[in-house]
Every structure is written in C-alpha cells, then in structure tokens.
Structure 1
Amino acid sequence: MNAPFSTSALYERVRRVIPIAEWLTFEDDIAAIIELKRQRNAVILAHNYQTPEIFHCVADIVGDSLALARKAIDVEADVIVLAGVHFMAETAKLLNPGKTVLIPDTDAGCSLAESITPEDVALLRRAHPGVPVITYVNTSAAVKAASDICCTSGNAKQVVESLGVQRVLMIPDEYLARNVALETDVEIIAWHGHCEVHERFSVEDIKELRESHPGITVLAHPECPPEVAAAADFSGSTAGLSEFVATNRPPRVVLLTECSMSDNIAVHYPDIEFIRPCNLCPHMKRITLPSIRKALEENRHEVTLDPATAVGARHAIERMLAV
C-alpha cells in the first residue's frame, strides 16, 4: 500500500541505526500499522530488545519487563499488541483481562520460561517446606500461579528483602539469583535456568573488549554469569543500563545484553560510541513489522488464559507491583 502520510519524521529518529535502503522496505508496514492502530483503538507495547523500527516507530509504550507490566495496567485501548515474547503477552493479559491481547508470533518464547514447570515448583516446595517462592517474570502464567510473588531483574533484591524472611527460592534464572545473593543477607536457593543470550557472555569477552577498545565502559545484565557481572563496570536491568548511559554519558560503552538494546539507546546519544558484541535473542527477533501488521489485520494470535491460573498468576504479579 502507499503510505498515507510521510514517514520522514519517523526516519529521522532512527537514521543513525537504520540505513535508508533498509528503511524503504519498512515504510509501507509502518504506515499500515499506524493506521490499523487508529482503526482498532490499539496500542503496541515493545520490549527494549525489539528492533529500532518497532521500538522507535510503531510502539506506544516501551521498556523492560517491569515497566511494561506497570504501564499495561493503565492502557485504555481496546487492543494490546505485545512486541516481545509470550510470557510478556500473558502478563499484559493478566493485568487487562477484559482487553484483547495479541502476540504477533506464538513461537516467540523464552529459554528461561521453558526451563521450569508448575510441577517443578511443587517439587521445590516439598524439598524446602515453608520457603517462599519468588518467580522471575520470565516464566509462564502457570509457573507464576504456583509461586508466591514475582520479580524482575530491576526489583529482584527489593522483592527478596520485602518478604522479611531468612531464606527464599528464586526461580528460574540461576545467574540472576546468584547475582542478587551477593547483594543481600537473605539466603537464596536457585534453580538451573539460564537465558540463552546472556549465558554466552564471558570474562574473556570483557578482557578482549577492554584490550580492543581502551577506556570502554562495560555494562552487564544480571542474567549474565556472576563472574561477568563482577568484571563489568556496572550491572543492572535493561532500564538500569539505559539510566546508567543517560546519567554517566560514557564516551565509549558496551552493553552485555541483547544486541538491539544498544541500537535503541544509541538513537538518543549520537555523541556516544556503542560497541556491539551482538548476541541476538532468536525469540525476540520473531516479532517483525509484517507480523505486527498481520496481528492487527487478522486479530492473530489472541492470548487466552485459564481463569484459575490467571487468578494465581495475577496475585503474584500484583504482589510484586505493590512492593
């Protein structure tokens, strides 16, 4: 279709990270999506790991998992399209049970979410009776329903200490649990799940980056192994990494997280050199402009939840949001 309006203003936002030849292949889908949002009273929630043409050009609400969960509560649209992975779409549905929530690709999953089941949680409870279960938001609604409270990488320590106990179970990310354990006196029992993107970073990577790019500031996500987080200059959630860049303005920086994160931040800081080691999340990258367009055109793929599961999962998320 021909664009009903000029997309030149949108391109100005992203021209530093998207070549014009590539942009020309995006224009029709962007124009169509903007019109479809108007027709359907829809909003698009996009995670920080989405590509710039989604994050900066069609998304209405952007952020990390915690920000999207918080902002989803206040959405007034009839339709929510979640540009992220499936557990995020489930969270949006949990917080907006009366709205239509769409996930553009049902195969946009998560290695962490797939690493644990409600049955595993039941076994953990039997092995550690009375110990509260803190579930990372990177899990299915069924696992959330089997837990006591949720957390994100940005509020994990706060959630752990809010319970006022000496010992907790934190599932499923082993590295997040171990990194948080270094910051608190609460004993944390971890599961063995890992993020397939962050587990690939190593201390050797950091050494090579410092040798190749003298003076570089290294920022790491807490889903990285503890030795990697310790070797970095700063470790934090995607929101925390963004805030560090905004506040400290390092002249040269590398983010040890999903590759698109650097592109999305770089849009705002032309004076900062971003070195990109580029580990891509194959699940996040299943979300594309054409799949978002199809979701809005065909109302695909609508997220539904078992009512009983939804009650328990919503309680765990609401407890987190209240902390």
Structure 2
Amino acid sequence: MNPAADRAALAAMLERLLPCVEVPYHLMWIDRIDALKRERGAVIMAHSYQSPEIFHGVADITGDSLALAQAAADCDADLIVMCGVHFMAESAKILAPHKTVLLPDLEAGCSLAASITAADVRALRAAHPGVPVVSYANTSADVKAESDACCTSANAVQVVEAMGSDKVIFLPDRYLGRWVASQTEVELVLWHGTCEVHETFTAQQVRHTREQFDALVVAHPECAPEVLAEADFVGSTTAMGRWLARERPQRVAMVTECSMADNLRDQFPQVEFIKPCNLCPHMKRITLPAIHAALRDLRHEVVIDAGVIGRARAALERMLAVGRREAA
C-alpha cells in the first residue's frame, strides 16, 4: 500500500466529480475521519445517494439500503457509522443488534418512512383480515415489526409473489406499488406514501431531456407512472448500475437522486450523464464534519426495543429467504 499515492488518486477522482475548489476542504476532513476510524476500529457505510466526498472519500462499504444492512451483520467491526437516512441505520441495527450503529445526523429522515406508522399497519390489517403485509425497506423499525415481510425495489415483485396470497397489502410507496402491480397478477392494497425526491419528476421533463440531449432514460420505480412510461429502463439503484454496465450508452439521463449519477461517473467514464435530478435533503444532512463528530463523540447511537428488533428481523429475514430461493 502507498498512502501518498492513494490520497493523490482520491484527490484526482474528486476533482473529476466535484467543483475543484471544494476538494482541499474535503480532503482535510477525510484525513481526520480516516485517523479516527482507525482509532475506533469503525466501519463507515454509505448509500449510493451520498455525495462523492463521502461515497468515495471515507466509505468502506457502499450500496443500496439492503446491501448495507447485510454488510452490517457480516462485517467484523463492532462500530458502524451509517451514512444514509434513519431507516437505513435502523435496518443495520436490526440485522446486527449486538453492534453499535451511529447515524451522523438524527434529522436525516425519509418522507416514505414518515408517511406510515405501526398503528396504520394494524388498521390496514383490521380492514383486510388475513391479507399479508409487505413493507418496503424505506420504513421504520416499528412498521417492519408489524409486517410479514420486507422488500426493496429490486425484489418487490418476488417478495409479493412469495407471500402465496391472491392479495397483498403493499406499503408505503404508492408509485412503487403501482409499478409492482403492473408486474404481477397479485392484487395489491396500496398506501398513499411517496418519495419527495422521485415524485417531483414529470413526464415532460423526461421528454425534454431525451429530445434536447438525445439521451437514454433510466428511472427509479418510485417515480410516477407517467414518468416510468417514458423511460427506456426502470429499476432499482443496483439495477441501474447493472444496466449501465450492460448497455454502455453514449448518453444517459438518470431520473433519481443526483448523487447516484455523480458516483457512477467514475465507474463509467465513457458515458455522458445528463442530470434531470433532484437532491434528497435528508441524505445531504450527512456531511464529513458530521461523520467526524459521530466518530469523535460516539454520538447518535441507534437504539431499538428488543421486541421490535425481533419482529422486524423476522420480516427482513423472510425477504432474504426469498432472495436465497431465487438464487438457488
């Protein structure tokens, strides 16, 4: 290993992905965080929507919300700093209850997770007796604990069909739910939640992007149906990366959170990324100074009631079991 060469390579990467005037400031914080991380024996995890200085600069493990939660359970470290939003830190704690999980900013929430409560799930069950509940990963631990299974946007169809029921309560994202309903014969009872990032995209924006830039369009299924109808590909954050690796388009517009494209640009330098994107205000509450403070003070530990952990873990494990059957 050559630390000087590694730091130079990181600086060069960040200068490609960020305004160059910001890079020295970020490098100062990255050095401080790396030192504290070694001292604490911590692992830093970052979601794909984190800014490049976090995603590439300090994260040891990156990925979507499920991949990060699984990594929390599998990694050797007893201290985890989750660079994501609150439900992601909760999911990591659920799958690794014996570990300390820190969230750099407790205000890093999620409009989807905030759209439904455990009491709402119980009311849905009462209104639809015997109908299983599948909850999207973008939900609180309390909601997961009231669910039969969890899912991600990548495996939602498979999890819904694995319930073995003609009808499934699917929550909380109504747009993701409508997309899943179009892919299966299972009848879905939907909730009214939406993602504040993805719900603001419009079909007109997509058409303008394609016409103006001659770009292929990929969209996240949390977008409205009329947006998805205009897209060349619809898929999860992980599926988008696989699509890029397979198709290698000359020009692509990613209809999702802005930092997703920023972080993929280094992996696909031959692709021109057009950015009809929106920033997640909650993801952007996670900053390098906040990560440093979390490590320094061991602050904002995620604590969940043991009973909630047990029931929520069962819902997550049922989803993981579906994945294992699909892979077999």
TM-score, length of structure 1 as denominator length: 0.97
Distance in structure 2 (CA, Å) of the matches to 1:279 and 1:63: 19
Cα distance in 1 between the residues matched to 2:73 and 2:272: 36
- Deviations 1:12-39 (Å, cap 9, x if unpaired)? 3333112331101111110111111111
Pair 1:80-2:80 in alignment:
yes
Map of 1:229 onto structure 2: 228
Q: Distance in 2 between matches of 1:54 and 1:115?
A: 28
- Are positions 1:288 and 2:291 aligned together? no
Equivalent residue pairs, number: 320
Corresponding residue for 2:30?
30
Q: Is the 8 A contact 1:146 1:313 kept in 2?
A: yes
Aligned residue number for residue 98 of structure 2: 98
Quick one: which amino acid aligns to residue 24 of structure 2? L
The structural deviation recorded for 1:227 is 1.8
Aligned position for 2:125: 125
8 Å contact 1:151–1:320 — kept in the other structure?
yes
CA contact (8 A) 2:83 2:286 kept: yes
Letter of the 2:26 counterpart: F
**TM-score by structure 2 length?**
0.95
Indicate the residue corresponding to 1:198 in structure 2.
Answer: 198
Deviation for aligned residue 1:271: 1.2
Structure 1 runs (4+) deviating above 3 angstroms are 3-6
Identity across the alignment (%): 57
Distance in structure 2 (CA, Å) of the matches to 1:69 and 1:230: 31
Alignment partners' CA distance in 2, 1:52 and 1:129: 46
Query: Is the CA contact (8 Å cut-off) linking 2:14 and 2:23 kept in structure 1?
Result: no
CA contact (8 A) 1:46 1:55 kept: yes
Residue pair 2:47, 2:55 contacting (<8 A) in 1 also: yes
Unaligned runs of 5+ in 1: none
Q: How does 1:178-217 map to 2 (within 5 A)?
A: 178-214=178-214, 216-217=215-216
Match of 1:257? 256
Alignment partners' CA distance in 2, 1:145 and 1:61: 26
Structure 1 residue 69 displacement after superposition: 2.3
Partner of 2:325: none
Which residue identity does 1:195 align to in structure 2?
C
**Kept after mapping to 2: 8 A contact 1:48/1:63:** yes
Output the CA distance in 2 between the equivalents of 1:72 and 1:255: 28
Partner letter of residue 304 of structure 1? Answer: V
> Shift of the alpha carbon at 1:6?
7.1
Rounded to whole Å, the distance in 2 between the matches of 1:149 and 1:296 is 33
* Alignment RMSD (CA, Å): 1.4
- 1:277 aligns to what SS in structure 2? coil
2:162 corresponds to which letter in structure 1?
Answer: S
State the distance in 1 between where 2:138 and 2:299 align: 22
2:164 alignment partner, SS class: coil
Match of 1:188, SS state, is strand
Counterpart of 2:175 in structure 1: which amino acid? Answer: Y
User: Separation in 1 of the partners of 2:68 and 2:28?
Assistant: 27
Indicate the residue corresponding to 1:268 in structure 2: 267
For the residue of structure 2 that corresponds to 1:21, the secondary structure is helix
**How far apart, in 2, do the equivalents of 1:194 and 1:304 lie?**
26
Does the residue aligned with 2:168 lie in a helix, a strand or coil?
A: strand
Tell me the CA shift for residue 5 of structure 1.
9.2
How many Å separate the matches in 1 of 2:47 and 2:208? 29
Query: Matches of residues 92-171 of structure 1 in structure 2 within 5 Å?
Result: 92-171=92-171
Please tell me whether the aligned partners of residues 254 and 277 of structure 2 are also in contact (alpha carbons under 8 angstroms): no
1:306-321 matches, within 5 Å, as: 306-321=305-320
Larger % of helix: which? 2
Q: CA deviation at 1:11?
A: 1.6
- Any conservation in 2 of the 1:48–1:264 contact (CA below 8 Å)? yes
Deviation at residue 228 of structure 1 after TM alignment: 1.1
Q: Is the 8 A contact 1:66 1:154 kept in 2?
A: no
Aligned residue number for residue 176 of structure 1? 176
Q: What SS does structure 1 have at the residue aligned with 2:242?
A: helix
1 CA distance for matches of 2:4 and 2:311? 45
**Take 1:7 and 1:29, find their aligned partners in 2: how far apart are those partners?**
13
Aligned equivalent of 2:326: none
2:115–2:172 CA contact under 8 A, matched in 1: yes
Say whether residues 1:7 and 2:2 are aligned partners.
no
Q: Which amino acid is 2:267 matched to?
A: H
Helix, strand or coil: the match of 2:111? coil
Instruction: State the shift of 1:285 in Å.
Output: 0.2
Whole-Å separation in 1 of the counterparts to 2:285 and 2:195: 17
How far apart are 1:164 and its partner, in Å? 1.5
Gapped regions of structure 2 (runs ≥ 5): 323-328
